[in-house]
């Protein structure tokens, strides 16, 4: 958590909150000291500057109630900080993406049972549509006038699109060296794509400053971060529901800020507490690219702190050198008997091609990282190949075409004649 965060940086304009605006959420609790605050546009503990997280008083929820809901994240609205009428506010209705059994990839890697949770099919082709939908609800309830984010790419796409649909002004900030497809994928939805000369950590720092100065700005992953983060829980809920209301034995999750991994873990715990799934151990693994692997480094070295790194990797959507939730990822992976591992950019590229050629799923560099780390964990014996495993594909390959454009391409360029085809000796 950045200590530059101003404790009064509660930028959204209005603090009078309507009844039921945040569903069954009861408080904001500090992850460090446990102090609680009322639900509001806050993200930093006033006692110790630790990050805040949402707690709930859940109603009794049944599998049948959830199954009767819409085929998107709002089927879990009772477990999210959103109002009961959330479906009626314009949003992109993300979620309920496919969970595919990956028999070919499993055979290739020597795993007994493997599933891919394919979040590349969300409205803007990454898992970020989930978190943005929850942040948008919070921004609306706080009366924010600008919907904004610092982003490594996918978040900007999701914020720009969701804001367009909701009719709220958007301003999205990205590092200027981002892939062209990701820039276009934001700029097509918003006039206010701002390229910042710096890396993500510079962009994030700028966003915190703006959030502290400007009224009415909801930065989804800064001042409404506690609400945004809860959206990632829906990945965990869906995986359990799609497995037939069971938890997997092992799961491999990419790590940028680390928020997604911590919330998938939280989701599994909540489902157990609510009696919706049986309790069982789930080993949680984190995946990073070596060029930005602060959490993996800390795991390997046995550190309790995450030392910031300067990112240099093709996995730009994971390129956060100073991850806000890094230490919580470390705790969870250690406690559950999982691990955090990293792979080189070449292995990231190979991971993209491996998933495409075995399962027909084109993932971006983040997914290449996750699949590549899965492979590495099998090779190092850190992952038990006899256990049921889930790997999350968080984004679409068309956004990072350049990563593999030198690796794949036409096997031959031939004249339009049968003889030329024969001569080309196509296997």
Stretch that binds Zn ion, among 34-42, 103-111, 166-174, 192-200 (CB under 5 A): 34-42
CA of 424: how far to CAs of 248, 405, 417, 427, in Å?
A: 46, 22, 11, 9
Q: How far apart are CA 409 and CA 254, in angstroms?
A: 27
- If one asks whether residue 260 binds ligand PLP (CB under 6 A), the answer comes out as yes
* Interacting residue with Zn ion among 4, 20, 33, 280 (CB under 5 A): 33
- Size of interface with ligand PLP, in residues (CB under 6 A): 16
Both tokens of residue 306?
């995450």
Nearest distance, CB of residue 262 and Zn ion, angstroms: 17
Pair type for strands 250-254 and 388-393: parallel
| Subset of 110-139 contacting ligand PLP (CB under 6 A) | 126, 128
Stretch that binds Zn ion, among 32-40, 142-150, 193-201, 299-307 (CB under 5 A): 32-40
| Subset of 227-256 contacting ligand PLP (CB under 6 A) | 254-256
- If one asks whether residue 258 binds ligand PLP (CB under 6 A), the answer comes out as yes
Nearest distance, CB of residue 104 and ligand PLP, angstroms: 23
* Other Cβ atoms closer than 10 A to 55: 15
Note the Cα 302 to chain centre separation in Å: 25
- Residue corresponding to tokens 């399962």: 359
Starting at the edge strand that comes first in sequence, how are the strands of the sheet with 217-219 ordered?
A: 193-196, 169-175, 146-150, 217-219
Nearest distance, CB of residue 38 and ligand PLP, angstroms: 26
Residue 232 half-sphere exposure toward CB, CA atoms < 13 A: 24
Note the Cα 310 to chain centre separation in Å: 21
Q: How far apart are CA 369 and CA 260, in angstroms?
A: 15
Q: Looking at beta carbons only, is 33 or 422 nearer to Zn ion?
A: 33
Per-residue binding letters, 2-31, with Zn ion (x by CB under 5 A) = ----------------------------x-
Per-residue binding letters, 45-64, with Zn ion (x by CB under 5 A) = x-xx-x--------------
Nearest distance, CB of residue 229 and ligand PLP, angstroms: 8
Q: How far apart are CA 23 and CA 164, in angstroms?
A: 25
Q: How far apart are CA 381 and CA 394, in angstroms?
A: 25
- Size of interface with Zn ion, in residues (CB under 5 A): 8
CA of 241: how far to CAs of 79, 146, 165, 278, in Å?
A: 14, 35, 29, 12
Q: Looking at beta carbons only, is 8 or 180 nearer to ligand PLP?
A: 180
Q: Looking at beta carbons only, is 21 or 284 nearer to ligand PLP?
A: 284
* Interacting residue with ligand PLP among 248, 321, 395, 397 (CB under 6 A): 395
Query: Which of 194, 153, 204 has the alpha carbon at shortest distance from 170?
Result: 194
Q: Which residues bind Zn ion (CB under 5 A)?
A: 30, 32-33, 35, 45, 47-48, 50
> Which residues bind to ligand PLP, rule: CB under 6 A?
126, 128, 154, 254-260, 317-318, 364, 366, 394-395
């Amino acid at each position: 958590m950045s200590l530059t965060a101003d404790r009064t940086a509660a930028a959204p304009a209005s603090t009078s909150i309507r009844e039921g605006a945040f569903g069954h959420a009861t408080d904001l609790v500090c992850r460090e000291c446990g102090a609680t605050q009322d639900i509001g546009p806050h993200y930093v503990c006033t006692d110790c500057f630790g990050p805040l997280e949402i707690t709930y008083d859940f109603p009794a929820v049944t599998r049948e109630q959830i199954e009767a809901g819409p085929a998107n994240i709002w089927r879990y609205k009772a477990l999210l900080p959103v109002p009961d009428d959330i479906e009626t506010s314009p949003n992109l209705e993300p979620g309920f993406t496919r969970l595919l059994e990956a028999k070919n990839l499993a055979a290739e890697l020597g795993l007994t049972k493997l599933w891919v949770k394919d979040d590349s099919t969300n409205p803007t082709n990454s898992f970020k549509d989930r978190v943005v939908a929850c942040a948008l609800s919070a921004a609306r309830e706080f009366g924010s006038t600008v919907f904004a984010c610092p982003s490594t790419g996918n978040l900007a796409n999701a914020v720009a699109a969701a804001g367009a649909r909701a009719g709220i002004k958007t301003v999205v900030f990205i590092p200027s060296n981002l892939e062209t497809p990701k820039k276009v994928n934001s700029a097509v939805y918003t006039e206010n794509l701002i390229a910042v000369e710096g890396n993500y950590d510079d962009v994030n720092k700028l966003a915190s400053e703006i959030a502290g100065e400007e009224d009415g700005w909801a930065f989804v992953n800064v001042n409404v971060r506690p609400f945004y983060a809860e959206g990632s829980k829906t990945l965990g809920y869906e995986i359990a529901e799609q497995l037939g209301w069971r938890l997997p034995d092992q799961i491999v999750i990419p790590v940028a800020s680390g928020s997604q991994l911590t919330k998938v873990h939280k989701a599994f715990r909540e489902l157990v507490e609510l009696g919706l799934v049986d309790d069982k151990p789930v080993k949680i693994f984190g995946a990073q690219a070596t060029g930005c692997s602060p959490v993996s480094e800390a795991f390997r070295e046995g550190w309790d702190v995450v030392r910031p790194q300067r990112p240099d990797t093709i996995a730009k959507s994971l390129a956060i050198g100073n991850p806000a939730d890094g230490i919580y990822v470390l705790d969870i992976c250690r406690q559950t008997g999982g691990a955090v591992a990293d792979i080189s950019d070449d292995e990231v590229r190979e991971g993209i091609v491996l998933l495409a050629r075995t399962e027909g799923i084109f993932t971006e560099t983040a997914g290449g990282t996750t699949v590549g780390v899965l492979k590495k964990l099998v090779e190092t014996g850190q992952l038990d190949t006899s256990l049921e495993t889930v790997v999350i594909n968080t984004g679409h390959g068309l956004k990072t075409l350049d990563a593999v454009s030198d690796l794949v391409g036409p096997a031959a360029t031939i004249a339009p004649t049968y003889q030329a085809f024969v001569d080309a000796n196509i296997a």
